[in-house]
Amino acid sequence: MPYLLYVLFSSTAHAIWFLFDIFIYAIGNNQWGFFLLNLRFIIAPLIAAVLTGRLSEKKIHAFAGLFLVVIIIC
């Protein structure tokens, strides 16, 4: 079970840290347009996860929504 969670969610965590490196580079070089365009890759999954958690009736539905967001990101 822990290996399955690692396989599913580690790429998402790695992708987020990779985006933070890109953000630091963009801010350091005054490329604000590039920063704002790439900000959507972090904000969109967070909004989707919060909405599925709020709008779902059961916990399994919330987990399924978060699971689908992770699959789409990967």
Dihedral sign computed on CA atoms, order 37, 73, 48, 4? negative
Cα end-to-end distance, the chain, whole Å: 19
Q: Identify which of 14, 46, 44 has the alpha carbon closest to the alpha carbon of residue 6.
A: 14
Q: How far is it, in rounded angstroms, from Cα 70 to Cα 2? A: 16
| Widest distance between CA atoms in the chain | 46
Per-residue pLDDT at 37:
78
pLDDT in tens, 4-51: 665 556 556 556 666 677 778 888 888 888 778 777 777 777 777 788
Q: Is the whole-model pTM more than 0.75?
A: no
